[in-house]
Amino acid sequence: MTALPLFPVTSVGSWPRPAEVREAQRRFRRGQLSRAEFDRVADRGVADFLRLQEEIGCDIVTDGELRRDNFYSFVADKLDGVKLMTLAEMLDVVEDKAGFERLLQTLDVPAYSISSPICYGPIARREPLAVDDVRFARAHSSRPIKVTLPGPYLLTRAMYVSEMTGPVYPTKEDLAEDVVRVLREELTELAAEGAEFVQFDEPVLTELAFAPDRTRTFMCAALASRKDPAEELELAVSLINRVVNGFDNRRLGVHICRGNWSRDESTLLSGSYRPLAPYLEQLNVDQLVLEYATERAGDMMSFGDKELGLGVVNPRTDTIESVDTITAVVQNALRFYPADRVFLNPDCGFGTFSNRPVNVAAVAEAKLRAVASAARRLRS
Ligand SMILES: [Zn+2]
């Protein structure tokens, strides 16, 4: 792995898509643009974002997930047996219609415009999930590359809708077997392609810990799961560990957060990492990428000898955190972590859903610049 400075700066995932990328994405979905035409527009957007990160001083770059509609739905374009369904379409097929409608009402999202990847047949990689994105990024940046992928638990929960999936995979554990296989195939190719850091997004873990009544879930498709949260967390740990088993020569991370679909913090989940700690400690990954800029994340703590991807700016606010504020968060983390295990990043992505980013690019850029300035000050 490339040697990194202290307090390496990186981003967590999504970046607000430029207007032309959003427009191209809309037209591509409607069949008005070919894949190649869409890629030409997206390539320009990604190349610009890579240049911006280098100029800002990011030590590890990402492609900002600019090609993705959201952080997990894109798998529908890549996997056999998976298709995108809007929440309105799902309402037609789920049996518990009243429960599903209640859920939609509590979410501060334009629910009918958000799509989820739903499994309806045996899943297999028709094409790689992110290998092409890494190849493009490598051709346009010499910095180490981080690639983000939906984690195996998130994917299984999101894709399993018993009315659609049950005939193929009787239980969600059955589907999980194939999800693990698909992600391991991807990881093998990503490693060969030179991705230095692979981050699995598992935001739904916080829902298990902080929303036991399941009324506020943001993984809308996940109504299927009514099991004991501890059992679900154990399943999540075992799936992640099976995916990463044997890939010791890359940096592997898991990102969890308490929701990033709305700027209304009161609709997002809240609670410290403490109830999750026993599970997070069991994960065989190098780094946990965690929120700490938002007060909803609670106290700082360590998780065995893992690195911390420390969230130091809130992607959902307009105020740019000062270098002093960021430095103070880092100093607090240094009470629990040696300096060479602390990476700096925003709490989460800036554009979880392409049609509803939580911030504009100018603010996102100013926040990332503040993180890089803080890193420079801390190093000196
Ligand atoms: Zn997040």
**Residue of 328, 240, 338 whose CA lies nearest to 292:** 328
- Residues 364, 315 contacting (CB under 8 angstroms): yes
Rounded CA separation 126/74 (Å): 13
Span 92-105, pLDDT tens digits: 888 888 877 777 77
Distance 180 CA to ligand 1 centre (A): 21
CB atoms within 10 A of CB 322: 12
**Helix, strand, or coil here: 51?**
helix
Beta bridge partners, 200, equal: 149, 254
Q: Is the pLDDT of residue 213 over 80?
A: no
- What predicted TM-score, i.e. pTM, was given to this entire model? 0.94
Distance 31 CA to ligand 1 centre (A): 30
Distance 289 CA to ligand 1 centre (A): 9
Distance 32 CA to ligand 1 centre (A): 32
Q: Average model confidence (pLDDT) for the chain?
A: 91
Distance 135 CA to ligand 1 centre (A): 24
Span 251-287, pLDDT tens digits: 999 999 988 877 887 778 888 999 999 999 999 999 9
3-state percent helix, strand, coil for the chain, nearest multiple of 5: 45, 15, 40
CB atoms within 10 A of CB 304: 10
pLDDT for position 221:
47
Distance 199 CA to ligand 1 centre (A): 11
Distance 235 CA to ligand 1 centre (A): 20
Rounded CA separation 236/282 (Å): 11
Span 295-342, pLDDT tens digits: 888 899 999 999 999 999 999 999 999 999 999 999 999 999 999 999
Distance 314 CA to ligand 1 centre (A): 11
Distance 98 CA to ligand 1 centre (A): 28
Distance 369 CA to ligand 1 centre (A): 20
Q: Is the pLDDT of residue 215 over 70?
A: no
**Residue of 258, 309, 313, 257 whose CA lies nearest to 288:** 309
Span 114-126, pLDDT tens digits: 778 999 999 999 9
pLDDT for position 226:
56
- Residues 368, 56 contacting (CB under 8 angstroms): yes
Rounded CA separation 66/171 (Å): 33
Burial of 283 from C-beta contacts in 10 A (0-12 / 13-18 / 19+): buried
Per-residue b or e along 105-135, where b marks 16 or more CB atoms closer than 10 Å to that residue's CB: eebebebeebbbbbbbeebebeebbbbebbb
Span 7-59, pLDDT tens digits: 999 999 999 999 999 999 999 989 999 999 999 999 999 999 999 999 999 99
Distance 317 CA to ligand 1 centre (A): 15
